[in-house]
Amino acid sequence: MGKVLLVIGDAAEVLDTFYPLFRIREDGHTVHVTAPAKRKYALVLHERPEGWDITRETPGYHLDADLAFKDVRAEEYHGLVISGGRAPEYLRYDPDLMRIVRSFFYRDLPVACVCHGIEILAAAGVIRGRTVTTVAKCQFDAEGAEATYVDQPVVVAGNLVTARTWHDNAAFMREFMKLLNKAAPVS
pLDDT for residue 47: 86
Condensed to tens digits (0 to 9), the pLDDT of residues 10-37 reads 999 999 999 999 999 999 999 999 999 9
Query: Looking at residue 54, what is its pLDDT?
Result: 82
- Asked if 100 contacts 76 with a C-beta cutoff of 8 angstroms, the reply is no
- In the predicted structure, residue 83 carries a pLDDT above the cut 90: yes
Query: How sure is the predictor about 187, in pLDDT bands with cuts at 50, 70 and 90?
Result: low
Residue 166 clears pLDDT 90, i.e. is over it: yes
Check whether 46 has a pLDDT greater than 90: no
Q: How do residues 133-156 score in pLDDT, each as one tens digit? A: 999 999 999 999 999 999 999 999
- Which residue in 46, 78, 116, 167 is the catalytic one? 116
Q: Please report the pLDDT score of residue 60 as a whole number.
A: 92
**What's the whole-number mean pLDDT along residues 59-82?**
97
CA 170 to chain centre: 15
Average pLDDT over residues 145-169: 98
Q: Hey, which bits of 103-150 come out as E strands?
A: 111-114, 131-132, 148-149
Q: Which pLDDT score is estimated for 55?
A: 83
Structural domains in the chain plus CATH codes: 3-183 (3.40.50.880)
**Three-class SS state of 44:** strand
- Structure confidence at residue 88 as a pLDDT band (50, 70, 90): very high
Contact 96, 103 (CB under 8 A): no
CB distance 101 to 145 below 8 Å: no
CA distances from 133 to 13, 51, 78, 83, 142 (A): 17, 25, 23, 14, 8
DSSP β-ladder status, 56-64 and 40-47:
antiparallel
HSE, CB side, 13 Å, CA atoms: give it for residue 5.
25
Is 29 considered catalytic here?
A: no
What DSSP designation does 12 have? B
Which positions ≥6 away from 11 have C-beta within 8 Å?
A: 42, 43, 44, 57, 85, 86, 87
